[in-house]
Structure 1
Amino acid sequence: MERSSLMLEISRLSIRFHRLDRRLRQVHTETIHNLHLTVAAQEILAVVGSSGSGKSLLAHAILGILPSNAQVTGSIQFKGEELTPDRQRRIRGKEIALIPQSVAYLDPLMRVGEQVQQSVRQGDPENLRRKAFHKYNLAEYVAKWFPFQLSGGMARKILVSTATVSGAQLVIADEPTPGLDASAMVETWSRFRQLADDGCAVMLITHDIEAALTVADRIAVLYAGTVVEIALRSDFAGDGERLRHPYSKALWRALPSQQFRAIPGYQPLPDALPKGCVFAPRCSSATIECEEVQPEPRTLRGGEVRCLHAT
């Protein structure tokens, strides 16, 4: 991938939270560790992983909306320039748009039609809002409703509409489809594909690997706060033999279509991470070296992997 096409480039990103314990002592918990990934224009990168792996924290770090007790280190670049806190404030909702996981992001005191129209940066706001409502099968009278009058699925459609009319060059969708019926879900995923084909960079954050594979170009697998593998969509096939990391293979084989072949153990909590590879305690191929050394990302067979023994 040529650097000139990169819309988002993240390097050595770490996120640490500070808090006081019951004895008023400072406690530091690192939830994202030395994370690397890129998203290019006209590309959909799906970030997948189980609950607690850090997917939403990654989105919030890019947008600069983490809580005040968070400390972020590393580099986040958008269109080749560092995303400083000031730049994040200036382009958030304009050049970078978020489709959040929670519908609570909608303003409870503003009619939803106005909220969608306020996101328009170029063109006629009302006309673009009408087109978005038509695409997502929202009746025109819904524009006059307040968020509390919407069903969960309707609220999701409003959030997607708000992002798609904004003209943003990077769209981050954090679990965008819960509450949508099957047809609306397919339509939503196809809209992301259209956004990418039109030149936008799209990051889809989801636990639904099978749905992501219908539209994504690459898949970043997140485990315990770090990306353990970035693979092409075509690598998720068969028995997972083209995948590189043991966790990616386990995640693929645990899907319903792969007969729910789960592995023992659980993802470690952020304050109880192993010294070496984060997956070593659950990996049947782990060695003493895996327990001591944190692997760096490396290129392998057209993808990227953090595993000392991947071949």
Structure 2
Amino acid sequence: MQEETLLEVRDLSVAFSMYERGLRKKELEVVHKLSLSVKKGEILAVVGSSGSGKSILAHGILGILPENARVSGEILYKGNQLTKKEQERLRGKEIAFIPQSVEYLDPLMKVKKQVIGVNGTEEKQRAAFSRYQLDEKTESMYPFQLSGGMARRVLISTAVMSNPQLIVADEPTPGLNLEMAMETLKNFKELAQQGCGVLLITHDIDLAFQVADKIAVFYAGTTVEVAPVADFLAGKDALRHPYSKAFLDALPQNGFQPLEGFQPYAGNLPSGCLFADRCPVRTDACAGEITMRKVRGGEVRCIHAT
């Protein structure tokens, strides 16, 4: 029986309206035809350098992009269009969000009330606090009284109050010690085993290796590869895209091997492959349209991948 797809993102593009000198209005597209999917019971880790569009994807799924954002493409939840109305109905209920910034906590509300919200119970809240080593006195604190690590654990606690079917976690582990980071990911794994889908956005790829089923690699605002985690663990020869291989080479255990050049600025993108200027296998054909295609059990945005 085929696993149910909870979330499907098809050719998502996000642009922001901006004003240049002389009050000339322009649109800066920062996410370009990005595609991925998360199945029921699956953890998909999203990795890539800063500015590659990871957080914008998360905010687009939840419907919390700023007013000057223009979105095209499709976001489907359980096969249905995730409209603004549906995002508002599901957000904080079936779809839980763990934001990157602890500033999402209300500074004027005590922690206990924020965690329980409208969907949780005191019993669930206390169980979550026990799991994340937050003692009872934390309940009566305001966010400004929390350390960074405590605030992070409070945010994670809010996500499990409503028995979500999809969790979008945007960098949930910074500020946590290794024990707490592993406990958080262990909790995600348990939720996935119960049928929950998890979209895990992270810079800590080594932690992602331990819990993810698949990994999506982002570059310059789009997906360049989606592959089983086993391919990343097998080494770069098992991967398909030159950037994924370079990304793996740059990890500490592989000697921090650098890649020359920089990710292109969203306002000055090359035609065709966005990685072409840094790619060792580029040809003139790379200037044409490059789409995602299936190769060896994964997906890749590269005409040379085999």
Indicate whether the TM-score tops 0.5: yes
* 1:161 corresponds to: 157
Q: Check whether the contact 1:47–1:203 (CA below 8 A) recurs between aligned residues.
A: yes
What are the Cα deviations for residues 59-93 of structure 1, in whole angstroms up to 9, with x where unaligned?
A: 00001100111100011000111001111111111
For residue 239 of structure 2, what is the amino acid of its counterpart? Answer: L
Within 5 Å, which residues of 2 pair with 1:1-311? 2=2, 5-120=4-119, 125-290=121-286, 292-311=287-306
Paired residue secondary structure (1:221): strand
Paired residue secondary structure (2:183): helix
Q: CA deviation at 1:294?
A: 2.8
Within 1, Cα distance between the matches of 2:105 and 2:15?
28
Q: Check whether the contact 1:49–1:223 (CA below 8 A) recurs between aligned residues.
A: yes
Within 2, Cα distance between the matches of 1:211 and 1:273?
32
Q: Check whether the contact 1:239–1:253 (CA below 8 A) recurs between aligned residues.
A: no
For residue 264 of structure 2, what is the amino acid of its counterpart? Answer: P
Within 2, Cα distance between the matches of 1:274 and 1:207?
26
What are the Cα deviations for residues 27-78 of structure 1, in whole angstroms up to 9, with x where unaligned?
A: 1111111111100010000010000000000000001100111100011000
Within 2, Cα distance between the matches of 1:192 and 1:238?
24
Q: Check whether the contact 2:224–2:241 (CA below 8 A) recurs between aligned residues.
A: yes
Within 1, Cα distance between the matches of 2:67 and 2:289?
29
Paired residue secondary structure (1:66): coil
Within 2, Cα distance between the matches of 1:131 and 1:36?
36
**Structure 1: gaps of 5 or more residues:** none
Paired residue secondary structure (1:159): helix
Larger deviation: 70-79 or 110-119?
Answer: 110-119
Within 2, Cα distance between the matches of 1:194 and 1:139?
23
Q: Check whether the contact 2:209–2:233 (CA below 8 A) recurs between aligned residues.
A: no
Change (3 A) 1:119 1:259: farther
For residue 297 of structure 2, what is the amino acid of its counterpart? Answer: G
May I ask how many residue pairs the two structures share in their alignment? 306
Within 1, Cα distance between the matches of 2:66 and 2:259?
34
What are the Cα deviations for residues 1-52 of structure 1, in whole angstroms up to 9, with x where unaligned?
A: 93x6100011111111111111111111111111111000100000100000
For residue 165 of structure 1, what is the amino acid of its counterpart? Answer: M
**Structure 2: gaps of 5 or more residues:** none
Paired residue secondary structure (2:88): helix
What are the Cα deviations for residues 143-170 of structure 1, in whole angstroms up to 9, with x where unaligned?
A: 0101001000000000000001221111
Paired residue secondary structure (2:17): strand
Paired residue secondary structure (2:150): helix
Q: CA RMSD in A?
A: 1.1
Change (3 A) 1:94 1:113: same
Larger deviation: 212-221 or 22-31?
Answer: 22-31
Q: CA deviation at 1:239?
A: 3.7
Q: CA deviation at 1:119?
A: 5.0
What are the Cα deviations for residues 107-164 of structure 1, in whole angstroms up to 9, with x where unaligned?
A: 111111111111535xxx0000010011001101110101001000000000000001
For residue 90 of structure 2, what is the amino acid of its counterpart? Answer: I
Identity of aligned residues (%): 54
For residue 38 of structure 2, what is the amino acid of its counterpart? Answer: V
Q: CA deviation at 1:238?
A: 4.5
For residue 160 of structure 1, what is the amino acid of its counterpart? Answer: I
Q: Check whether the contact 1:119–1:162 (CA below 8 A) recurs between aligned residues.
A: no
Q: CA deviation at 1:237?
A: 2.7
Within 2, Cα distance between the matches of 1:209 and 1:28?
32
Q: Check whether the contact 1:119–1:165 (CA below 8 A) recurs between aligned residues.
A: no
